[in-house]
Structure 1
Amino acid sequence: MVRTTERELYGSILRDRQTVLILGVTLTGMLGSVLSPALPGIADALNVSDGRVGLLVSFFKVPSILVIPVAAWFADVYGRRTVLVPSLFVFGCSGAVMFLLDSFPALLAFAFVMGIGAAAIFPVTVTLLGDNHDGAANSAAQGLRVGIVGLGTMIVPAATGYLASVRWNVPFLLYLVAIPVAAFTYLVLDETIERAERSGSVTRLIERYGLAMRTELKDTNVRILILGGFTRGFVRYALLTFIPLFAVRILDASLVEAGSLLSLRGIGYVFVSPLAGLVVARTSRKLALGSSLLISAVTLTLIPFSDGLVVLGGSYSRIRSATPYSTQL
């Protein structure tokens, strides 16, 4: 009976056109994974050092620090679709333009613009699923979103590695997908909140945002989680920069093999994330988090000593498999 109920729940969610569209937008947002597998090819083609080429990932992610809070406010005031559609358009156009560039400074500039567009995509899709579903349906929908992220994490880097082996800039054509998705989102996505058109309501919302942020930041646990989130993100993108360059330069891997290595991190999302809640329930949040951090730390220490792609891939997949537990606090 439970299984039938679960099937009915997921079936009803997947029959909802709005949810399917939101999941499609989530998959489109995974095109942000294109940059990392392409780094060795970009460095060789533009005669850029490995140390400098990693700046592409930094320039892509830095805008998130400022854009996400602002985008969240705009989404609450002016609507989710009002934020999501321009974000997708900027993300797709700026990424596709990089196909035409042969200057590293220009690539950095457009990576920064692309990061501005990408920053709001995932937060808004999470919010939209919450707007459209309550209770168990929301949990199931969010679980499907995590599965989509895992699917994109496995597909995009491998595809990027293959395309980069054809020519260094071909992977940037993948960003063209975001443009029709933006148009379709504009036409089909329903707005889930009423727009706050009066200046008074906007002012009150700004005041509430400021008060809520000050209140939350007084909580020590919140500050610890923010620090932990920063550390997790820092390590994640350091790995995404290091792994393909290390695999190609030191282990003589091809671009296809380097992209396939990065695809291994999808295992953590698809196969381990669904178990995270069960592990936490049977142990404790602190134990699960501490264990995952310990596994990640030990494996990180061993990665530079990897002497083959199999060892490197195994180490990397262990780190990514441990990561989901760090989200359970």
Structure 2
Amino acid sequence: MGVASIAPALPKMARVLDVSNEQIGLLITAFTLPGIFLTPVLGVFADRIGRKAILVPSLFIFGIAGTACAFATDFTWLLILRFFQGVGGASLGALNVTLIGDLYEGNKRATAMGYTGSVLSVGTASYPAIGGGLALLGWYFPFYLCLVAIPIGLFVIKSLKNPEPENGKDLKTYFGKVWNSLKSKKVIGLFAANFLTFIMLYGAYLTFFPILLDEDFGQTSLIIGIMLSGSSVVTAFTSSQLGKLAGRFSEQNLILTASLLYLGVFLSIPNIENIWLLAIPIMVFGFAQGINIPSILNLLTYQAPTEYRAAFLSVNWTVLRSGQALGPFLLGVIYGLGGVEVTFYFTAAVAVILTAVIVTLIK
């Protein structure tokens, strides 16, 4: 919700708030930046004092600050409120995966992770269309969606029945075990794969693909949202099949396949002149996301036991947030130097690096 719901409205926000296309990507960077620093800290607290003690306040902060963005009077205030919304969102993704790891084991965990990825993709599929439609009423309307985090927080207080970690270890032992689990070559490779994946997703697809659709094809925010949603529908279905796919193919091979598909997608987008043909890279991108992200998360979840799982996965979420924050900024620089088409060729080079990482580090 923090990104997908506003992505189709970014071109309109840039015009209304009188900022450049290079600057508008800062709305995504401001949201993702707090997670880089806060997520590991919140992960430690989730291990030490409990998952729900961190989850509930985070949902409330996300909902209040996100809704307040609708009342921002200028771009500077909007950036500030997005930063506070990011504070609320910093722990949510990591705790989501942590709770799946706490509740499931073995192949059931892979299946549950796939279903979780599917549910997330349904949200990612619906929010661009909903946000794009709301943006027709006004650039600020998509931010009202964040109100839903408040009742979800209340629901968590009453209904979420999860095992809480029993962490009696002293902090030195605790951090030592976390560090030992983080420094393996495989874990570093998985972190790198996540980092590069989210540079491509948040930089090229969610920030500059809408700008390409606006500049080259003159599409409205609603049409842009519907088109972005197309890939997420495919991702949702593909993720739901992860348990079956993981039974036939290794997660490493699934991630490698995804990286090669990313390469083809970002090489093809700048060369497509018929808007209907963009459906092909959109669908392929969705399939690649569906086999890539849940596979990475599943492999990472296997690496840490319950008592320090939140801290371990929070480090991954910091890496992920770094990719989210860097992607729009980095490609904004590339956009300023060479235009929107060059940003996609640059992203294809990122896909090549991802392929190399998988081949050399994830075995």
Q: Tell me whether the two structures share a fold, i.e. TM-score over 0.5.
A: yes
- Per-residue CA deviation, residues 200-240 of structure 1 (Å, 9 max, x unaligned), is x47x1x32342134323432222121111111111110121
Structure 2 residue 278 is matched with structure 1 residue 312: yes
Residue equivalent to 1:100: 71
- Per-residue CA deviation, residues 111-146 of structure 1 (Å, 9 max, x unaligned), is 111112112112212323443445565555434322
Structure 1 residue runs without a partner (length 5+):
1-29
Structure 2 residue 197 is matched with structure 1 residue 232: yes
Q: CA 1:138/1:290 → structure 2, altered by over 3 Å: closer, same or farther?
A: closer
Residue equivalent to 1:128: 99
Give distance in 1, aligned partners of 2:8 and 2:85: 17
Report matched runs for 1:272-311 at 5 Å: 272-279=238-245, 281-311=247-277
Structure 2 residue 184 is matched with structure 1 residue 219: yes
Contact 1:79-1:194 within 8 A present in 2 as well:
yes
Q: 1:46 aligns with which of 8, 13, 17?
A: 17
- Relative to the length of structure 1, the TM-score reads 0.81
Aligned residues: 294
- Relative to the length of structure 2, the TM-score reads 0.74
Residue equivalent to 1:19: none
Report matched runs for 1:78-157 at 5 Å: 78-134=49-105, 138-157=109-128
- Per-residue CA deviation, residues 158-185 of structure 1 (Å, 9 max, x unaligned), is 0000000111111111111111222232
Q: CA 1:145/1:290 → structure 2, altered by over 3 Å: closer, same or farther?
A: closer
Structure 2 residue 18 is matched with structure 1 residue 33: no
Report matched runs for 1:9-28 at 5 Å: none
Letter in 2 for 1:148: V
Contact 1:35-1:57 within 8 A present in 2 as well:
no
- Shift in Å, 1:190: 4.0
Q: CA 1:209/1:262 → structure 2, altered by over 3 Å: closer, same or farther?
A: farther
Task: Quote the RMSD (CA, aligned, Å).
Answer: 2.3
Structure 2 residue 107 is matched with structure 1 residue 171: no
Larger Rg: 1
- Shift in Å, 1:157: 0.8
- Per-residue CA deviation, residues 40-98 of structure 1 (Å, 9 max, x unaligned), is 12111111111100111111112222222112111111111110111001101111001
Give distance in 2, aligned partners of 1:78 and 1:272: 36
Q: Larger relative contact order (C-alpha < 8 A, sep ≥ 6)?
A: 2
Partner of 1:250, secondary structure, is helix
Give distance in 2, aligned partners of 1:155 and 1:32: 12
Q: CA 1:310/1:186 → structure 2, altered by over 3 Å: closer, same or farther?
A: same
Give distance in 2, aligned partners of 1:219 and 1:130: 20
Give distance in 2, aligned partners of 1:280 and 1:188: 31
- Per-residue CA deviation, residues 298-321 of structure 1 (Å, 9 max, x unaligned), is 211221223233223321221221
Residue equivalent to 2:216: 250
Contact 2:34-2:87 within 8 A present in 1 as well:
yes
Q: CA 1:131/1:284 → structure 2, altered by over 3 Å: closer, same or farther?
A: closer
Give distance in 2, aligned partners of 1:135 and 1:48: 49
Q: CA 1:292/1:143 → structure 2, altered by over 3 Å: closer, same or farther?
A: closer
Contact 1:92-1:178 within 8 A present in 2 as well:
yes
Q: CA 1:247/1:280 → structure 2, altered by over 3 Å: closer, same or farther?
A: same
Letter in 2 for 1:320: G
Contact 1:63-1:116 within 8 A present in 2 as well:
yes
Letter in 2 for 1:322: A
- Shift in Å, 1:260: 0.8
Contact 1:88-1:181 within 8 A present in 2 as well:
yes
Residue equivalent to 1:261: 227
